[in-house]
Structure 1
């Protein structure tokens, strides 16, 4: 069911001219042949949830989802120079951010999906709280220490907003610089799960998280609910 939904929404967005992501058949086939969620499927999902933000409930915070390419330069390249690392990040992020379908001034939740050590997880810059938080939302109980990535991401995103060219971006940059890291603890956190489950869980978290520490994600511990999202009629 989830695969069919992805494809239906993806091609609808392509027809409407709202998407510039390409996805190949072999990338979809990895779901079956390798039991993996290809990174381009996650990127397509980012485009879908971003597009759907224009239809959100008026009481819901506006969200924006950056694609995996935003964090790839921070995860996969050991760059000693902070300025070089931040410049690479800004080049990628600026192009993605300009595709927002909702006014940038309204966005309160900024999401960065991450692929690190054969594992997917989500980082959210949450400005809906009093002081703001950098939240790690992870389906795994034992995915390791993300401190280095979070430090680099905060630095790079702060730098990006600092030179956004308006007062709001400058204020947001100052807020990001002061944000602390926190991991969201939920009863559905699991152990011993595979690559496919991480990917499907990530997509579900992106779809449902609205900035609250407790929310109806539809996930359950140790994959009990994931079979529904992986079915294909």
Structure 2
């Protein structure tokens, strides 16, 4: 009898603990269909247990529980009373509004008429479970969604607007279930709050891909009025330097950064990065005969510089991860069809770029400075690190030419416009090389060693090209401010 009393006491505690956990689950997942099915299954088990006990009760003689019976000791009666009190609290406490209240019908206890129950329509939920990918195993006897009609009067009546909104949400979830989509607590947004999907960019027509159309900026033409107005606005010292003049998603350029396009000023690395993004966008307009290019920002090479003391495996892994952020690796065809991979870099304050030509199988070094130290010596470690990291990236993407890149030797491109004069113009030279180099080492980019005027023109023209690009989400607002400012350079 002591064991029975202890078991009864444990059962009462378990009932109270179950109520608490059930209440927490109901608050966290108030509208989840999977939760409803699971709790309905629990309810079905309790009902099965109770019905069996009711049948046993009909075949038994009614027993009166009094202390006069020899085995109904005071300790046992207290344990049974504890169970009854726990059940009474369950019925009285309005805990569950969305789910069934499990009814623990013990021995001679009558069924709880006031508890909310689901109906017996199991076929509908069986279909849901099948479409849900058998998310809950062996749940063929799950409950239906409709509440038992006999219990509708026992529920609190919600406001009409809330009921209407809940019904719409439930209908939407049911519709998604029938389509075989997995639902995990959907939140149906109002129609007016839905975010419009960004329009997909379509491929340009063949007519705009003509090889006879010059897509590089002419460095020798005079500045237009809009270019001079924009430069007057950006270079004005009285304007707020923190004003953002270019924005594309999370990429921004402030007025302070754009001021580095002034004469005799070193170009900010952020401008080089945005320029690479715009050039990649313009690649869609290249002629079919031209080599396809991928131009990276300065960040991949910056990762190599930061990890020059780390183990090669770690350095290459971080470099490949950085490349993956900029190149759409998921499209294997695009990777294999790309001929030139261009990597701009800033090392010891000098701007230059390295390029892998996988069509001609060349590794180029392009540096505008004409110093006493050869680029092959000056950038020895950078070239070695880049080649090793790029091979790691190609092997990860299963590129067929990955092993051939390992054997490539660097080749310094000789250019007649290289000079030793103004180091502050190296950033503009780099932007010009990124714009015009397509793998031909004898190419002309429109610059001259004897004259710096084209470089000064390119500073303003590149500034104008960036701010007025279609990629600039705030172009219209900035150009309106430029017109109001109305100051020319």
Is this a same-fold pair by TM over 0.5?
A: yes
User: CA–CA distance in 1 between the matches of 2:353 and 2:364?
Assistant: 8
User: CA–CA distance in 2 between the matches of 1:12 and 1:55?
Assistant: 23
Aligned to 2:251: 21
1:191 aligns with 2:420: yes
Secondary structure, aligned partner of 1:92 = helix
User: CA–CA distance in 1 between the matches of 2:407 and 2:327?
Assistant: 22
1:48-127 correspondence runs (5 A): 48-98=278-328, 103-127=334-358
With over 3 angstroms needed to count, the CA separation of the structure-2 counterparts of 1:124 and 1:222, relative to structure 1, is farther
Secondary structure, aligned partner of 1:113 = strand
User: CA–CA distance in 2 between the matches of 1:111 and 1:100?
Assistant: 20
Structure 2, unaligned runs of 5 or more:
1-222, 231-244, 462-488
Pairwise CA distance, 1:26: 1.6
Aligned to 2:390: 157
Q: Higher mean Cα deviation, 63-72 or 137-146?
A: 137-146
Would you say the 8 A contact 2:283–2:292 is kept in 1?
yes
Secondary structure, aligned partner of 1:231 = helix
User: CA–CA distance in 2 between the matches of 1:76 and 1:34?
Assistant: 28
Aligned length: 218
Pairwise CA distance, 1:99: 8.0
Aligned to 1:176: 405
| Equivalent in 222, 227, 231 of residue 456 of structure 2 | 227
User: CA–CA distance in 2 between the matches of 1:97 and 1:136?
Assistant: 21
Pairwise CA distance, 1:115: 0.3
Tell me how large the CA RMSD over aligned residues is: 2.9
Following superposition, which runs of at least 4 residues in structure 1 exceed 4 angstroms of deviation? 1-4, 99-102
Aligned to 1:146: 379
Secondary structure, aligned partner of 1:84 = helix
With over 3 angstroms needed to count, the CA separation of the structure-2 counterparts of 1:60 and 1:211, relative to structure 1, is same
With over 3 angstroms needed to count, the CA separation of the structure-2 counterparts of 1:222 and 1:20, relative to structure 1, is farther
Would you say the 8 A contact 1:121–1:137 is kept in 2?
yes
Aligned to 2:446: 218
User: CA–CA distance in 2 between the matches of 1:216 and 1:96?
Assistant: 28
1:126-145 correspondence runs (5 A): 126-129=357-360, 132-142=361-371, 144=375, 145=378
Secondary structure, aligned partner of 2:294 = strand
Q: Higher RCO, 1 or 2 (CA under 8 Å, sep at least 6)?
A: 1
Pairwise CA distance, 1:50: 0.4
Secondary structure, aligned partner of 1:91 = helix
With over 3 angstroms needed to count, the CA separation of the structure-2 counterparts of 1:95 and 1:38, relative to structure 1, is same
With over 3 angstroms needed to count, the CA separation of the structure-2 counterparts of 1:99 and 1:50, relative to structure 1, is farther
Would you say the 8 A contact 2:362–2:408 is kept in 1?
yes
Pairwise CA distance, 1:223: 5.1
Using the size of structure 2 for normalisation, the TM-score is 0.41
User: CA–CA distance in 2 between the matches of 1:12 and 1:27?
Assistant: 10
Structure 1, unaligned runs of 5 or more:
none
The structure richer in strand per residue is 1
User: CA–CA distance in 2 between the matches of 1:204 and 1:100?
Assistant: 30
Pairwise CA distance, 1:118: 0.6
Would you say the 8 A contact 1:123–1:136 is kept in 2?
yes
User: CA–CA distance in 1 between the matches of 2:429 and 2:315?
Assistant: 29
Post-superposition Cα deviations, 1:127-185, rounded to whole Å, max 9, x if no partner, equal 232xx111001111126511110001000000111011x4xx1x221121111101001
Bigger Rg, structure 1 or 2: 2
Would you say the 8 A contact 2:261–2:460 is kept in 1?
no
